[in-house]
């Protein structure tokens, strides 16, 4: 049951991420840092894609993805279409990986520590979903700030 819920919500929120990025009419706005939001929408998108490909794709799905976390925050001016394609590929990876997990695997320890602590895989997946939702809200706020500027 938890697996079905995770599949539903990861798909929903990755679709929302794609929708938010698509709503930026001016591509340059994706890379603006404004007011109280300390990261641009483009960098938050790169961060989410890197995070999910690392923790779900590489760690659980054995995709071979190698994360370059620093670049998630330093790269700039990636074309919007490339961001959207990255989100779509990430969604495919996340959903395929989750579909292949059995109940026993969800209950096992996650292979990496989370904040210096061993947690179950299901705990980590709920954490990753919350992380996605948190930054998705920041992107939505960022877009709306720029729309009123």
Per-residue pLDDT of 92-131, as tens digits, reads: 999 999 999 999 999 999 999 999 999 999 999 999 999 9
* Tens digits of residue pLDDT in 50-99: 999 999 999 999 999 999 999 999 999 999 999 999 999 999 999 999 99
Contact 138, 39 (CB under 8 A): yes
Residue 82 — φ and ψ, nearest 5°? -70, -40
Q: Does an H or E element contain 116, and which?
A: none
pLDDT on residue 37: 74
pLDDT on residue 134: 97
- Joined together, the tokens standing for residue 68 give 């370059």
| Confidence band for 36, pLDDT divided at 50, 70 and 90 | confident
| Confidence band for 147, pLDDT divided at 50, 70 and 90 | confident
Residue by residue, DSSP assigns 28-60 as GGGG---TT--S-HHHHHHHHHHHHIIIIIITT
CATH number of 2-147: 1.20.120.450
Q: Report d(CA 75, CA 78) in Å as an integer.
A: 7
């Amino acid at each position: 049951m938890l697996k079905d819920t995770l599949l539903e919500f990861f798909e929903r929120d990755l679709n929302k991420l794609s929708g938010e990025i698509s709503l930026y009419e001016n591509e340059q706005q994706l890379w603006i840092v404004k007011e109280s939001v300390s990261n641009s929408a483009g960098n938050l998108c790169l961060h989410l894609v890197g995070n999910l490909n690392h923790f779900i794709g590489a760690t659980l799905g054995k995709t071979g993805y190698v994360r370059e976390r620093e670049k998630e925050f330093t790269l700039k001016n990636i074309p919007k279409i490339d961001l959207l394609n990255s989100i779509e590929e990430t969604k495919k990876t996340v959903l395929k990986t989750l579909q292949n997990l059995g109940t026993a695997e969800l209950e096992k320890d996650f292979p990496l520590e989370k904040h210096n602590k061993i947690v179950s895989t299901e705990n980590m997946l709920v954490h990753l979903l919350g992380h996605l939702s948190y930054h998705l809200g920041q992107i939505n706020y960022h877009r709306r700030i720029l729309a009123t500027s």
